Chains A and B, each alone.
Chain A
Amino acid sequence: MDGVSFTRRLFTLIGLVLLQVLFLNRIALFGYVTPLFYIWMIVRFDSSMSRSSILLWSFFLGLIIDVFSGTPGLNAASATLLAMFQPGIVKLFVSLDRHDVVVPCSAVMGSRPFAGYLLFVTVLHHTVYFILRSIPLGDWTVLVLKVVFSTLLTFVFMLVAESVSSGSGLKR
């Protein structure tokens, strides 16, 4: 299967789901700032994967988080939307002359483009997530605050994850 084995993907998925529902969902700074770090899995899908399998993995990742968080469809919808645009967003941040497989990480993309990519992806996902969650839309300022601060928190988590994975060399 596409580069990384199915089993390994499955373990990543289980690990991220457990981390999200057991620990991160409990974080609710000021009542609404929650890191949605589980999108790390979608962030790291490389360009060798077919778009259909990216969509399916992301949909099920979101759906399983939903089952445990009591929010049917919310994470599934926002994760699937992110998965649809992830390959295109990666291309925005990589120089055009590359034809080989692009793994989204700082070693391949360079740390500044990678950070930009992370921020772009997170803002997109969190905006969709919080808009869907706050329907019917009432207070725009609260919505913007939720998006901004949760994005920052998720972004920090992802930077830590990136430095751990690139430092240990376990993940490519």
Chain B
Amino acid sequence: MLEQIESHKYSELEVNKSLSNEDKIEFLRQMVRIRRFEEASLKYYNAGKMGGFLHLYIGQESIAVGTASLCGDNDHMITAYRDHGHALAVGMSMNECMAELYGKKTGCSKGKGGSMHFFAPDKNFWGGHGIVAGQTPLGLGLAYGLKYNGEKGAALCFLGDGAVNQGSFHESLNLAQLWELPVIYVIENNGYSMGTSQKRSSAFNNCLAQRGDAYGIEWDVAKGNDIYEVRAKTKEAMDRAHNDSQPTILEFDTYRYQGHSVADANTKKYRSPEEIDYYKENYDPISVWKKRLFEESVIDENSYKELDDAAKSEAKEAVIFAEESDFPDLSEITDDVYYEVDNQTESGKQGKYFFHD
């Protein structure tokens, strides 16, 4: 009952009331696209088509889609290694993302980054970072850059609940408030830092975001599976960043259905299948949103099926695109290391840069 009241409350806020039916359908489409993309990537990862790790975002889609939907020209996003959802939400194509997973030269990073390192600076998306919390000072730097350049914007820096215990995050929080930088740290709390539950990894009062009190940083905690709620809380934080140049820590409760990565052998051991099923049945972000759009008569079962089929075909096409693309040439291994060399500037022509021969 309480949940219904809260959802009603968030849907009535201006940030959500102003949404058109098309906007609402677009959010559904984006979430479904992310899920179908990841399902396809899982299938072909398991078929041995990709190397390395594959950290899936399935179950958390509402956060990337809800937050990205509020970003304007001067707002930036940066995240950790579970980055496929954010990449697609900011407008990267399935083709370039799938090709990157395949290690192909048509990938968003020319096959040089892989699953954990998607980037699209032209879409204000700064990665895709592999080291837990390593992106948190970078996100701070984006906010510093905005403020230095006199631009009214926000840097949304995503991290998992496992990242909150890293020193670089705490150093970033101190600097964020000390220098009043427009950064929003979005903790996507899926309850597990790899195989270690929050209870076994973090000391805290009430919630992780409340650690912001120690730095005098505004914080909030909310359900992450409901787009209305995600947008409502994010809007508040973005207003604080835009209008007052102040940081925020925003914690969203969420859940991942898959293991930490697909290589996580213990994924069914540190939590029960019942726990996973319970979340899927009651809190799945796509189901929750779909149900709401049915209730609001924005879509019906047929139009949902059309949208879902389109996402499946798009993912299938992306797999074909990736399969048919070429691997990078061996000669390209030393490209994209130095700007000055790539651009053959005077500086780039001076001295020896590479020592393998």
Q: Do A and B come from one complex?
A: no
User: What residues of chain A have their CB less than 8 Å away from a CB belonging to chain B?
Assistant: none
Residues in B lying within 8 Å of A, measured CB to CB: none
